[in-house]
Structure 1
């Protein structure tokens, strides 16, 4: 199975930390964030990895190269202008192929092994969902007892930035056009083709300097 790491974002909430350094290269525990994802993907046999880049993307490509140092093959989907999540995935489809792939945001931290969800079957995606953190108490979707995601319902969970995804979820989008992911997910819900997996282990959205510092503290105590 191939994998894709989303690494094109500006990281504007990190402010001065990302003025000269792309968020995926911010260091925690003595190494860049994105290296943790690469090593975890390699540990489960996902060695063909696509990374989308835009903001300061040259730095990412220079730092990681072709992936040989990490025992993987890295290929880059370059976005001259950031295409948002769904647009970025759509632009990378020629590199990803036609089979389901594992998707992970570069700026999340999770102890769940990559790919550890049920197979897609007829679904377009299966999202990893977590309990709402303090900064997003309202949640994103409701996950029912059969593993189906819904726009309405309680309790609501938050999309963790990791998913098993079929290319068909975004294949009909116009290439090189910015597009967020949520409308694609809502469309899949309406087709009854969006599943979810409730992860109850460790997870963090590293979206602010404070959360980055907290993760650093947590890693130092492991």
Structure 2
């Protein structure tokens, strides 16, 4: 058994999954399965293996099915609590609502529930926390960046060394944000509770103050955005 890690994790699972219809008409997107295991279960197994204990999952559309499927997390040797949303709060709004449940000292981990990233190096990512804490101008976020997938060729942000920026960096590379990152609770301190708030504008504001770091990840990572992509992943992992 790995040593318990005090960093809590938030799994984003409140999306409606419109592009995955009709599969998501009767099932929340993060419960769709690859190799007979739901996307959320893949994440939960990885979190448990990395020594994480506390996990909060938000949900909205058919959220009760997520609670029925995962329960209190004992199956994964985790403590799972839920943050139900009656209206879509977007990513930052959902995080803000869940903060009292997460009660992070400073940094916490956030993972999109609809990405598939087997062998995700969670322990290596968590090792960044001490580096972030030691920096004089503590970053408000540390993002895992991936090579641009076919469906998102233009990428999101620029990465050079550990710096992530919205504007081109000399010698930097434009990459795609994986939906996996470490956040400092202060990033969300000015967000009003239960108000839909997007994450990207908060990140761009922090980037302008040079308070976003990141790293490139070249291991397996997939945004499970369409039924075709889900089918391809199931075939590839048969």
Deviates more, 1:61-70 or 1:125-134: 61-70
1:107 — aligned with what? 114
Residues 108 and 206 of structure 1 are in contact (CA less than 8 Å); yes or no, is this contact kept in structure 2? yes
Spell out, residue by residue over 1:36-95, the C-alpha distance to the aligned partner (whole angstroms, 9 max, x if none).
Answer: 100100001112100011111011011111111221100001111110100000000001
SS across alignment from 1:98? coil
Gap runs ≥5 in structure 1: none
Map of 1:11 onto structure 2? 17
Residue 183 (1) aligns with residue 201 (2): yes
Mapping 1:1-222, distance limit 5 Å: 1-99=7-105, 100-110=107-117, 111-117=119-125, 118-119=128-129, 120-121=132-133, 122-145=138-161, 147-153=162-168, 155-220=173-238
With normalisation by structure 2, the TM-score equals 0.89
Q: Is the 8 A contact 1:112 1:199 kept in 2?
A: no
Structure 2, unaligned runs of 5 or more: 1-6
Are the counterparts in 2 of residues 102 and 115 from structure 1 also a CA contact under 8 Å?
no
| CA offset digits 1:152-191 (Å, max 9, x no partner) | 2253100001001111111210010111110010011011
Please give the TM-score of this superposition, normalised by the length of structure 1.
0.95
Q: SS where residue 103 of structure 1 aligns?
A: strand
- Rounded to whole Å, the distance in 1 between the matches of 2:141 and 2:123 is 12
| Alpha-carbon shift at residue 123 of structure 1 (Å) | 0.6
How far apart are residue 115 of structure 1 and its match?
4.6
Query: Partners in 2 of 1:187 and 1:46 — Cα distance?
Result: 29
Distance 1:43 1:171 in 2: 31
Report runs of 4+ in structure 1 exceeding 4 Å deviation.
none
Range moving further from structure 2, 17-26 or 62-71: 62-71
